[in-house]
Chains A and B, each alone.
Chain A
Amino acid sequence: MLAAINKYLDKLEAQGLAKREDSTFLAVDAELFSNKPIEHDVAGLHEIFRAMNVSSLLFASPSEPYRSIIRRIVEWDSECCAENIIVPMDCETRTFFHDFPVVDDLNPVAISHALSRRKAVIVRDLGIVTHGVYTPEQAYVSYSSACFSMFVKYFHDSLVYFDSCARNCTQIDADYAKAFIDIAQQSVVTLRRECVALRSGPPRTEDDVTAMLAEAGRAIVTQRLVDSHFGNISYVFKDHIFISQTGSSLDELEDSIDKVPLDGSSSTGITASSELSAHKNIYLKTGLNAIMHAHPKFSVIMSMFCRAEGCDRRLCHRICTRKREVGMTPIVPGEIGTGPTGLAATVPAVMEEGRGAIVYGHGVFAAERGTFQRPFDMLAQIEENCRQQYVIAVSDLLKHLLDSPFDGLAESG
Chain B
Amino acid sequence: MHGYTGKCLKIDLSTGKICVTNTPEGLCADYLGGRGLGVGLMGDRITHTCESPEMPLIFSTGPLVGTDVPTSGRMSVVSRSPLTGTVTDSSVGGRFGTELKRAGFDLIEITGSADEWVMLEIDGSGAIVASAAGLAGMNIAELGGQISSEGSVAAIGRAGENGVLYSSIMIDGRYAAGRGGLGAVMGAKKLKAIRVRGDRPIPVADPDGLAQAREDIMRLLRASPAVFGEFGIAEFGTAALVDLIHARRMEPTDNFRRTYFPEATRYSGYQIQMRYRTEKTGCAGCPILCKKMGSRGEVIPEFESVSHFGALNGCPDLLTIVEANRICNDFGLDAISAAATIACYAEISGIRPTPPELLNMLIDIGNRQGVGLALSEGSFRYACSMGRPDLSMSVKGLELPAYDPRGAYGMALAYATSNRGGCHTRAYPVGCEILRKPVAVDRFTFEGKARMIKISEDINAVADSLSTCRFTFLAAGLEEYSRALYAVTGRDYDVRSLMNIGERIWNLERKMNAANGFTRADDDLPERFFTEEGSLGSVRIPPVDRSNFLRALDNYYRIRGYE
- Interface residues of A, Cβ cutoff 8 Å to B: 1, 27-30, 51-55, 95-96, 98, 112-113, 115-119, 132-135, 137-138, 141, 245-248, 256, 260, 264-274, 276-277, 280, 335-339, 342
Whether the pair A247, B228 counts as a contact (CB closer than 8 A) is: no
| 14 A-B contacts (beta carbon < 8 Å) | A1-B447, A27-B448, A29-B559, A51-B496, A52-B496, A55-B452, A116-B497, A118-B479, A133-B455, A134-B439, A138-B439, A248-B436, A337-B223, A338-B229
Nearest 8 A-B pairs (CB), nearest first?
A30-B555, A116-B496, A267-B231, A116-B494, A336-B223, A53-B499, A270-B231, A337-B222
A371 CA to B321 CA in the complex, in Å? 45
- Interface residues of B, Cβ cutoff 8 Å to A: 216, 219-220, 222-226, 228-232, 236, 240-244, 247, 265, 268-270, 432, 434-441, 447-452, 455-456, 458, 477, 479-480, 482, 494-497, 499-500, 503, 554-556, 558-559
Chain A's closest residue to B495 (CB) is A116
CB distance from A149 to the nearest CB of B (A): 16
Name the one of A27, A28, A119, A335 contacting B222, with C-beta atoms under 8 angstroms.
A335
Specify which chain A residues have a CB less than 8 angstroms from the CB of B556 in the assembled complex.
30
A135 CA to B495 CA in the complex, in Å? 17
Whether the pair A55, B225 counts as a contact (CB closer than 8 A) is: no
* Most chain B C-beta atoms within 10 Å of own C-beta, residue among A29, A98, A118, A267: A267
Chain B's closest residue to A245 (CB) is B436
CB distance from A131 to the nearest CB of B (A): 10
Specify which chain A residues have a CB less than 8 angstroms from the CB of B436 in the assembled complex.
245-248, 271
Whether the pair A269, B479 counts as a contact (CB closer than 8 A) is: no
Specify which chain B residues have a CB less than 8 angstroms from the CB of A338 in the assembled complex.
222, 228-230
Specify which chain B residues have a CB less than 8 angstroms from the CB of A115 in the assembled complex.
495
A274 CA to B421 CA in the complex, in Å? 34
Specify which chain B residues have a CB less than 8 angstroms from the CB of A134 in the assembled complex.
432, 438-439, 441, 448, 451-452, 455-456
* Most chain B C-beta atoms within 10 Å of own C-beta, residue among A55, A113, A266, A273: A266
Whether the pair A274, B448 counts as a contact (CB closer than 8 A) is: no
Name the one of B220, B228, B482, B496 contacting A95, with C-beta atoms under 8 angstroms.
B220
Whether the pair A267, B447 counts as a contact (CB closer than 8 A) is: no
Whether the pair A267, B240 counts as a contact (CB closer than 8 A) is: yes
A237 CA to B307 CA in the complex, in Å? 30
Name the one of B225, B452, B495 contacting A246, with C-beta atoms under 8 angstroms.
B225
- 9 additional A-B residue pairs with CB within 8 Å, beyond A116-B494, A276-B225: A29-B447, A113-B494, A116-B497, A135-B439, A247-B436, A256-B440, A264-B230, A335-B222, A337-B229
Whether the pair A276, B230 counts as a contact (CB closer than 8 A) is: yes
Whether the pair B479, A119 counts as a contact (CB closer than 8 A) is: yes
A329 CA to B341 CA in the complex, in Å? 61
A273 CA to B230 CA in the complex, in Å? 10
A220 CA to B432 CA in the complex, in Å? 26
A245 CA to B496 CA in the complex, in Å? 30
Name the one of B236, B494, B559 contacting A267, with C-beta atoms under 8 angstroms.
B236
Specify which chain B residues have a CB less than 8 angstroms from the CB of A118 in the assembled complex.
479
Whether the pair B455, A267 counts as a contact (CB closer than 8 A) is: no
Specify which chain B residues have a CB less than 8 angstroms from the CB of A96 in the assembled complex.
220, 223
Whether the pair A274, B479 counts as a contact (CB closer than 8 A) is: no
Given contacts A29-B450, A267-B231, contact A54 B494 (CB under 8 A): no
Specify which chain A residues have a CB less than 8 angstroms from the CB of B242 in the assembled complex.
267
A53 CA to B224 CA in the complex, in Å? 24
Chain B's closest residue to A259 (CB) is B247
Specify which chain A residues have a CB less than 8 angstroms from the CB of B497 in the assembled complex.
116
Whether the pair A265, B270 counts as a contact (CB closer than 8 A) is: yes
Given contacts A138-B439, A247-B437, A270-B435, contact A112 B496 (CB under 8 A): yes
CB distance from A41 to the nearest CB of B (A): 21
Whether the pair A337, B228 counts as a contact (CB closer than 8 A) is: yes
A338 CA to B235 CA in the complex, in Å? 12
A118 CA to B268 CA in the complex, in Å? 38
A27 CA to B437 CA in the complex, in Å? 19
CB distance from A285 to the nearest CB of B (A): 15
CB distance from A221 to the nearest CB of B (A): 17
Specify which chain B residues have a CB less than 8 angstroms from the CB of A119 in the assembled complex.
479
Whether the pair A53, B455 counts as a contact (CB closer than 8 A) is: yes
Specify which chain A residues have a CB less than 8 angstroms from the CB of B440 in the assembled complex.
245-248, 256
Whether the pair A270, B479 counts as a contact (CB closer than 8 A) is: no
Name the one of A54, A95, A141 contacting B219, with C-beta atoms under 8 angstroms.
A95
CB distance from A372 to the nearest CB of B (A): 23
Specify which chain A residues have a CB less than 8 angstroms from the CB of B228 in the assembled complex.
337-339
A350 CA to B387 CA in the complex, in Å? 68
Specify which chain A residues have a CB less than 8 angstroms from the CB of B434 in the assembled complex.
271
Specify which chain A residues have a CB less than 8 angstroms from the CB of B450 in the assembled complex.
29-30
Specify which chain B residues have a CB less than 8 angstroms from the CB of A339 in the assembled complex.
222, 228
Specify which chain A residues have a CB less than 8 angstroms from the CB of B438 in the assembled complex.
133-134, 138
A137 CA to B479 CA in the complex, in Å? 18
Whether the pair B225, A274 counts as a contact (CB closer than 8 A) is: yes
Chain B's closest residue to A337 (CB) is B222
CB distance from A158 to the nearest CB of B (A): 27
Whether the pair A55, B451 counts as a contact (CB closer than 8 A) is: yes
Specify which chain B residues have a CB less than 8 angstroms from the CB of A132 in the assembled complex.
439
Whether the pair B219, A266 counts as a contact (CB closer than 8 A) is: no
CB distance from A209 to the nearest CB of B (A): 17
Specify which chain A residues have a CB less than 8 angstroms from the CB of B241 in the assembled complex.
267, 270
Specify which chain B residues have a CB less than 8 angstroms from the CB of A245 in the assembled complex.
436, 440
Whether the pair A30, B230 counts as a contact (CB closer than 8 A) is: no
A55 CA to B458 CA in the complex, in Å? 14
* Most chain A C-beta atoms within 10 Å of own C-beta, residue among B242, B270, B482: B270
* Most chain B C-beta atoms within 10 Å of own C-beta, residue among A248, A270, A280, A336: A270
Whether the pair A29, B268 counts as a contact (CB closer than 8 A) is: no
Specify which chain B residues have a CB less than 8 angstroms from the CB of A336 in the assembled complex.
219, 222-223
Name the one of B220, B244, B477 contacting A271, with C-beta atoms under 8 angstroms.
B244
Whether the pair A270, B240 counts as a contact (CB closer than 8 A) is: yes
Whether the pair A272, B229 counts as a contact (CB closer than 8 A) is: yes
Given contacts A274-B224, A335-B222, A338-B222, contact A266 B441 (CB under 8 A): no
Whether the pair B231, A268 counts as a contact (CB closer than 8 A) is: yes
Whether the pair A28, B451 counts as a contact (CB closer than 8 A) is: yes
CB distance from A360 to the nearest CB of B (A): 15
Specify which chain A residues have a CB less than 8 angstroms from the CB of B482 in the assembled complex.
117
Chain B's closest residue to A53 (CB) is B499
Whether the pair A135, B494 counts as a contact (CB closer than 8 A) is: no
Specify which chain B residues have a CB less than 8 angstroms from the CB of A337 in the assembled complex.
222-224, 228-229
